Amino acid sequence: MAEEKLPNWLKNRAHLSPDRPAIEFEGQTYSFLELHTLTEKMARRLASAGLMAGDSCAVLLRNHIDGVVAIHALFYLGVKIVMLNNKLTAKELSWQIEDSGASYLLSEGSFASKLDDMAGNLPELPLLLIEQLPNGGTAEILQEFYLEDTATIMYTSGTTGNPKGVIQSFGNHWWSAVGSVLNLGLHEGDTWYCAVPIFHISGLSILMKSVIYGMKVVLAERFDEREANRAIQENGVTIISVVTTMLNRMVHDLKEASYPDDFRCMLLGGGPAPIHLLEACKEKKIPVYQSYGMTETSSQIVTLAPEYSMTKIGSAGKPLFPSQLRIEQDGKASGPGEAGEIVVSGPNVTKGYFNRLDATQQAISDGWLYTGDLGYLDEDGFLYVLDRRSDLIISGGENVYPAEIENVLGKHPDVFEAGVTGTEDEKWGQVPLAFVVLHQGAELSESDLLDYCRQSLASYKIPRSVIFCKSLPRNGASKLLRRELKKGMEEWQ
Amino acid sequence: MAEEKLPNWLKNRAHLSPDRPAIEFEGQTYSFLELHTLTEKMARRLASAGLMAGDSCAVLLRNHIDGVVAIHALFYLGVKIVMLNNKLTAKELSWQIEDSGASYLLSEGSFASKLDDMAGNLPELPLLLIEQLPNGGTAEILQEFYLEDTATIMYTSGTTGNPKGVIQSFGNHWWSAVGSVLNLGLHEGDTWYCAVPIFHISGLSILMKSVIYGMKVVLAERFDEREANRAIQENGVTIISVVTTMLNRMVHDLKEASYPDDFRCMLLGGGPAPIHLLEACKEKKIPVYQSYGMTETSSQIVTLAPEYSMTKIGSAGKPLFPSQLRIEQDGKASGPGEAGEIVVSGPNVTKGYFNRLDATQQAISDGWLYTGDLGYLDEDGFLYVLDRRSDLIISGGENVYPAEIENVLGKHPDVFEAGVTGTEDEKWGQVPLAFVVLHQGAELSESDLLDYCRQSLASYKIPRSVIFCKSLPRNGASKLLRRELKKGMEEWQ
């Protein structure tokens, strides 16, 4: 099995189930055969532009059928894809492109102004615009994918220093899809709604599942809670991937309505979710599957199995079948209830960071990835994610977990969402600071909110102050960026 | 990925979903945690009897909860299992045990007389009876299964010469289960009925799926059509594995009744099925999934996907997602509609025969297995299995496929089942001979039946004679053994 290979995924799927719907975008549905035909055509155009097997190509794309086709076409050609986050600045993008050693940049007209901004910083590499690719030509299409081969590289910021390119092999994507199907099951009419970015592992993993499972995806260019709710209520969507803020907005938009019985999975990732939100979902009978994962694990690696979604509320669950998990503190495995670093392994886990031997060796030891996240296992082996280790606040020697305080703030009826981070304090080392977004029209004073906190939290966990704001900083995957909260504050003060 | 490994399947499943039902046998249901606990106990007993990692142990077992536990316990210990067909004679069994180099034989009291018969022929190796294993003791349990490692060895007869031991790795079993789930899907309440032998790949693959999927299995000691129908109608069975003769009996027993909507898959293997039977199932809305596979492919490798089960009737379908298929004649790929040898590849395909380098090299070339079976692909790429190549009758230079004649015979309302084989003929080389089992109470003459055949078959396909018999010879997996038909005839004449 040293050179395990599988027939080219989309091409194989188009052979096995040509007529099944593959993807719906802006009201138009493409079968797997149609998607394959578009992909072959795109592959020929990219080959005519010079792309060849073994090349590496950075892509700056929207959630759009053209982007999906471009990604598959690059796989067809055996070209490694450097997935760029289209929310980054021109400077950040240029840095990543240079770091990745990509020899092409593939983008589209809608990014014209950003591409202009990048022009000065960019290394000398050809820029290809989808709309301007040459027509026709021939291309050699990969008949098989080797699981060891690199499929994609995605940059993550980590906590310090420059971003690092996470290497994701075809095998990583494959095993991620297989681990997920063994947990979530697979029904004949399954349709997965993708409003998370396809340049991020949350979105890309849905595209991979689509071709591996033979499953329909409804792709949205951007997230809109009304659109998402409508898709579930009227368009046969059975599964959707969301992060907390998306779920929050969907639940508010849903009001007294509910989802049809066929809707079977609200897959929630992107960090610990506030308990009050999970409880609201429980009341509305929304089948939330809390999950935990990251770019390095090629999407979810821990997910709450169906039978526990209502009894282990707040837990991220147990590892997917092919993966393993332990909690470690000071090099020793932690016992039940003891917090420590989350350490994971499995065939969906990256083999390392591109061109970063040091970072790879620091993060991965004997196949186990040290995630830098904090959590604990309960008596039954369920994972509870506390926080990203970098977000931990240490106040007077006590560990203070931002998520715990956010949970309390979020329960206040006037609060839409909250973020907490630490700030320097002469006496305590660090103290918590709260950033709060209120519901539209709501009014609430800082002192009232702090009084509210005092009902549930020990005094050392009470935020030193509350900063009311219009939105919280989030990354391309809508994950809360706690370290950016402070940055905002510094700018405002 | 060279040393891909997965957490010990049953143990991992008992950790992930301890309370889910794993297996029901004789009215008693065991959860995954209970099955794991029984398995650990059995592993300790086997270890006390001397079994160690790296050993190889032949097993002669019934379909029984103890047999299931014994199989898992041997996996837990890292002991390779030589699966013996309990329908074989003492002499055949002794030969296989010796050939396999097994250092233990594990069996149970119910095989006492067969074991007595074997005593004279057996090489000197310890016989362990489940009932008499020592109690207690300690055992080192494998925490991980390496996909490259041999899990089981199963003997197949092939067409000539001695049986050969097919090596099945953990990876073969894993990929078989994954290929199947990507085709059949997986529902929360799925329950698979296993009345096929667990020493055969058809039964063993169900046990593997159970722990990999976290799915309930209802195990029957032997097949009984009323029991099977009752399990589907009253006991929540959603999937069942059958071969033609089992399906035939179930359909007759079903009479005017039908199956509940939750019953979603009648997985039909073990050779081409007569068209009239498939049509009868179509009328009764029985969701038949024709499939094609063998010991060497660790169960089905080609299966008809749900959406084609009614339109491509008679076809075995397309390969499972991870596998590939082509038809070859004289070293060249055949075009659509052209018959040739079925050649397959994929991670579920064996790497070879135990201790048979020649046979391995003859059957497997560059990862492709030459099955010895005949078939063709239609214009859409669907496989139609004609016959085992060894069963092909060549009459006056014409290829005559037994299955075609059996299909015609089987359509006669008085015929329960039919088998056709070739016999020597001075003029034509070979001519077909028919063996027919009539429905109970039915009366039909040879000449009437041959007249019936003349309505549908060219003259060179008309059997030279019809031999009426009470049953047809079948192997442990209830597959029709065409070469045994003639043997029976020789005895009768």
CA distance A387 to B244: 57
Q: How far is B425 from chain A (nearest CA, A)?
A: 44
Give B10's Cβ-side CA count (13 Å radius).
Answer: 30
**Nearest residue of chain B to residue A320 (CA atoms):** B16
Contact B306 A188 (CB under 8 A): yes
In angstroms, the Cα distances linking A475 to A114, A272, A424, A427, A478 are 18, 15, 24, 33, 5
Chain A residues whose beta carbon lies within 8 Å of the beta carbon of residue B19: 307
Tokens of A22: 């593959």
CA distance B305 to A218: 23
3-state secondary structure of B64: coil
| pLDDT tens digits for range B64-78 | 999 999 999 999 999
**Cβ contact A362:A356 at 8 Å:** no
Percent above pLDDT 70 for chain A: 96
| pLDDT tens digits for range A212-256 | 999 999 999 999 999 999 999 999 999 999 988 899 999 999 999
CA distance A137 to A333: 57
Q: Which CATH topology does B171-389 take? A: Rossmann fold (3.40.50)
DSSP string, A457-488: S-GGGS-S-EEE-S---B-TT--B-HHHHHHH
The torsion angles phi and psi of A382, rounded to 5 degrees, stand at -85, 140
**Cβ contact A109:A134 at 8 Å:** no
**Cβ contact B124:B54 at 8 Å:** no
Rounded to a whole number, what is the largest CA-CA distance in chain A?
A: 70
| pLDDT tens digits for range A394-451 | 887 777 888 889 988 999 999 999 999 998 887 787 899 999 999 999 999 999 999 9
Chain B residues whose beta carbon lies within 8 Å of the beta carbon of residue A15: 318, 381
Intrachain domains A5-146 and A392-492 with the same fold: no
The label of the residue with tokens 């006590």 reads: A398
Average pLDDT estimate for A98-109: 95
Contact B318 A15 (CB under 8 A): yes
Q: Is B311 exposed, middle or buried (0-12, 13-18, 19+ CB in 10 A)?
A: exposed
Residue B68 amino acid letter: V
Chain A residues whose beta carbon lies within 8 Å of the beta carbon of residue B352: none
**Cβ contact A374:A394 at 8 Å:** no
A→B contacts (Cβ < 8 Å), by residue, are 1-2, 4, 6-7, 12-13, 15-17, 19-20, 147-148, 171, 178, 181-182, 185-188, 212-214, 305-307, 318-319, 321-322, 324, 347, 381
CA distance A402 to A408: 10
> Residue B19: what pLDDT?
94
Average pLDDT, chain B: 91
CA distance A156 to A85: 10
**Nearest residue of chain A to residue B175 (CA atoms):** A178
> Residue A161: what pLDDT?
59
**Terminal Cα distance for chain A, rounded:** 59
**Cβ contact A219:A246 at 8 Å:** no
CA distance B359 to B213: 34
Chain B residues whose beta carbon lies within 8 Å of the beta carbon of residue A336: none
> Residue B492: what pLDDT?
42
3-state secondary structure of B449: helix
Q: How far is A351 from chain B (nearest CA, A)?
A: 10
Q: Which CATH number fits domain A5-146: 3.40.309.10, 3.40.50.12780, 3.20.20.370, 3.40.50.10320?
A: 3.40.50.12780
3-state secondary structure of A374: strand
Per-residue pLDDT in tens (0 to 9) along chain B, 493 residues: 447 999 999 999 999 999 999 999 999 999 999 999 999 999 999 999 999 999 999 999 999 999 999 999 999 999 999 999 988 888 889 999 999 999 999 999 999 999 998 887 776 789 999 999 999 889 999 999 999 999 999 998 654 457 899 999 999 999 999 999 999 999 999 999 999 999 999 999 999 999 999 999 999 999 999 999 999 999 999 999 998 889 999 999 999 999 999 999 999 987 767 788 888 998 999 999 999 999 999 999 999 876 687 788 889 999 999 999 999 998 899 999 999 999 999 999 999 999 999 999 999 999 999 998 989 999 999 999 887 777 888 887 777 888 889 988 999 999 999 999 998 887 787 899 999 999 999 999 999 999 999 888 888 889 999 999 998 988 766 778 887 887 766 544 3
| pLDDT tens digits for range A333-380 | 999 999 999 999 999 999 999 999 999 999 999 999 999 898 999 999
| pLDDT tens digits for range A307-339 | 687 788 889 999 999 999 999 998 899 999 999
> Residue B474: what pLDDT?
80
The torsion angles phi and psi of A398, rounded to 5 degrees, stand at -90, 140
pLDDT band at A493 (very low <50, low <70, confident <90, very high): very low
Contact A13 B307 (CB under 8 A): no
Percent above pLDDT 90 for chain A: 72
Q: How far is A14 from chain B (nearest CA, A)?
A: 11
| pLDDT tens digits for range B242-292 | 988 899 999 999 999 999 999 999 999 877 677 888 889 989 999 999 999
pLDDT band at A492 (very low <50, low <70, confident <90, very high): very low
Q: Which of A33, A176, A182 would best serve as a mutation to test chain B binding (most B beta carbons within 10 A)? A: A182
> Residue A398: what pLDDT?
75
CA distance B341 to B386: 10
Q: Which CATH number fits domain B392-492: 3.30.300.30, 3.40.50.450, 3.50.50.60, 1.10.3720.10?
A: 3.30.300.30
Domains of chain B: which residue ranges? 5-146, 171-389, 392-492
Contact B17 A305 (CB under 8 A): yes
**Cβ contact A344:A297 at 8 Å:** yes
